[in-house]
């Protein structure tokens, strides 16, 4: 039977392993923006809620917008918290509407190898 001191040592060692910090010490960028996505529609809700969504720049379901961290944006998010999902992201992760559109676009499905007209002219 193990003594109580060896049990305490084993328990302490196991606890320190589970709560150890990650080995890589990569500097993470600070979270400076909210990524807000409308999950539920605002149909049949009061105009005050619809106006809040409009002021956030959200017009349709599953639309994503980015706003910097500040008290005004935090208050707007709290007013519509049941309708949206919010993530904290760094400034590097902020995407414009055009960038978001290009990320969603599927590959073309074909590759242009050449042009018969140009090959015959040579």
CA atoms of 57 and 114, how far apart (whole Å): 44
Predicted confidence band at 120 (pLDDT cuts at 50, 70, 90)?
confident
3-50 confidence digits (pLDDT tens) = 556 665 655 555 555 555 555 545 688 999 999 999 999 999 999 999
Least confident of 7-16, 51-60, 67-76, 100-109: 7-16
Residue ranges and CATH numbers for the domains of the chain are 31-104 (3.30.1390.20)
Burial degree of 98 (CB within 10 A; 0-12, 13-18, 19+): exposed
Task: Report whether 31 contacts 90 (CB < 8 A).
Answer: yes
């Amino acid at each position: 039977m193990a003594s109580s001191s060896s049990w305490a040592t084993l328990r302490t060692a196991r606890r320190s392993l589970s709560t150890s910090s990650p080995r890589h010490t990569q500097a993470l960028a600070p979270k400076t923006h909210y990524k807000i996505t409308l999950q539920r529609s605002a149909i049949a809700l009061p105009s005050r809620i619809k106006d809040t969504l409009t002021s956030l720049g959200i017009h349709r379901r599953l639309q994503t917008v980015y706003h910097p961290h500040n008290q005004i944006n935090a208050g707007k998010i709290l007013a519509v918290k049941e309708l949206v999902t919010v993530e904290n992201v760094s400034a590097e992760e902020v995407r414009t509407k055009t960038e978001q559109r290009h990320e969603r676009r599927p590959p073309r499905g074909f590759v242009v190898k050449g042009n018969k007209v140009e090959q015959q002219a040579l």
